[in-house]
């Protein structure tokens, strides 16, 4: 299931998302803030999942979502584009980073992040600093934080 999407503007990419409610909340966030969403399959749920539909409501516009059949397809399409990986394993804070209006910001799977081989493919790896050595934020909260900052920096909002 693949739709076309232009390379213009900020993009949020989800690597094999596995929680339907989180993906639905991210679709709503992207829709409301004007970012494109890219989903690297396989997903751990079906788009017809009632938990997904309950959260996404009428915010799902499949013209604004691009599905990739695999991470290989995703990376081939991004050959000359900048990808930023959000990961708890990074040493650089998103606050110290200068976002570009055509960046693709990649978030890993809720249950496992992204595999090591994908970490190695991506030059820019950022984290959201957290107090008291907490493990991680919910992915939909993380997307909202990073998208808001990138939109602010690029003056796209």
Given a cut of 60, is residue 30 above it in pLDDT?
Answer: yes
Report the C-alpha gap between 3 and 131 in whole angstroms.
Answer: 40
Report the C-alpha gap between 150 and 13 in whole angstroms.
Answer: 14
Per-residue model confidence as pLDDT tens digits over 117-156: 999 999 999 999 998 878 889 999 999 999 999 999 998 7
Per-residue model confidence as pLDDT tens digits over 38-56: 999 999 887 777 777 777 7
Per-residue model confidence as pLDDT tens digits over 57-110: 676 766 668 999 999 999 999 999 999 999 999 999 999 999 999 999 999 999
pLDDT on residue 135? 81
Q: How far is CA 52 from CA 36, 46, 76, 112, in A?
A: 18, 8, 29, 20
In the DSSP assignment, the letter for residue 42 is P
Q: Cα torsion for 78, 14, 118, 126, to the nearest 10°? A: 90
Q: Structure pTM?
A: 0.89
Indicate the SS3 state at residue 41. Answer: coil
pLDDT on residue 93? 97
**All domains of the chain, ordered by start, with CATH?**
11-154 (3.40.1280.10)
pLDDT on residue 59? 65
pLDDT on residue 121? 93
């Amino acid at each position: 299931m693949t739709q076309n999407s232009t390379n213009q503007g900020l993009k949020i990419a989800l690597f094999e998302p596995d929680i339907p409610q989180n993906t639905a909340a991210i679709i709503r966030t992207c829709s409301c803030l004007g970012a494109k969403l890219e989903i690297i399959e396989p997903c751990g749920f079906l788009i017809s999942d009632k938990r997904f539909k309950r959260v996404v409501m009428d915010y799902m516009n499949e013209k604004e979502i691009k599905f990739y059949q695999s991470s290989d397809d995703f990376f081939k399409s991004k050959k000359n584009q900048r990808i930023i990986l959000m990961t708890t394993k990074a040493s650089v804070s998103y606050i110290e980073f200068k976002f570009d209006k055509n960046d693709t910001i990649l978030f890993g799977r809720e249950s496992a992040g992204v595999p090591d081989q994908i970490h190695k493919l991506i030059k820019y790896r950022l984290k959201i600093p957290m107090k008291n050595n907490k493990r991680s934020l919910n992915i939909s909260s993380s997307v909202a934080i990073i998208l808001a900052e990138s939109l602010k920096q690029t003056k796209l909002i």
